[in-house]
A and B are shown apart, each in its own frame.
Chain A
């Protein structure tokens, strides 16, 4: 089965840039999606197809995918960005295609 590895936590000061990584074997061959989940709330799609943003998501959120690492970048971090972030890929390289989520990263705004 395919495994996505995220750091458990990332801390950043307000106004700075946060980078949350998602590691996977040759992940650049896959399409990565990112979700934000605030405490007590449902997840929200913030980046899809590696680097596209749904309507309503600020331009501060961006994504990239290269080699064995996909990255969610949040520029000019605000207190309201504090949340858990999850990466997701569709693993089709098997006879049992399925969705895979990363373990999640808690973003703390200092």
Chain B
């Protein structure tokens, strides 16, 4: 059974940093691209970042480029999102999601349950 479990969310002050993790199991992690998607309270889905299976191709949304860094450790079956210079508008539930293939331009077939990030003073 595929499982994606996010962790690392919490309350952080504006300008602060946070590192999210996503532990994957039940599939060959190194063979699939991975993604972060967020959802502000009561709002829709917003794509944040994607990384290919080998980390050779990485994409970011304009809203986070230069502040967030996606990475993965295939030996540890883990995905990460380093978030710096956090703003109030970054407040959201952050989901990790696996891609339906090795590239970044494939649909997201499995999703974790999400971790809440709250940016507030």
Contact = CB atoms under 8 A, between A and B. Distances in A.
Contacts of B37: 43, 101
A103 interface: yes
Contacts of A45: 100, 107-109
A99 B50 contact: yes
Nearest to A105: B44
A41 B95 CA distance: 11
A35 B95 contact: no
A66 B60 CA distance: 28
A42 B96 CA distance: 10
* Interface size grouping (class) on chain B: 20 to 34
Interface in B15-52: 35, 37, 44-47, 50
25 contacts: A35-B108, A42-B111, A42-B112, A42-B114, A43-B95, A43-B97, A43-B111, A44-B111, A45-B100, A45-B107, A45-B108, A45-B109, A48-B109, A54-B109, A88-B45, A96-B62, A98-B60, A98-B61, A99-B35, A99-B47, A99-B50, A99-B59, A101-B44, A101-B46, A101-B47
Interface of A: 1, 33, 35, 37, 41-45, 48-49, 54, 84, 86, 88, 90, 92, 96-104
Interface of B: 35, 37, 44-47, 50, 59-62, 95, 97, 100, 105, 107-109, 111-114
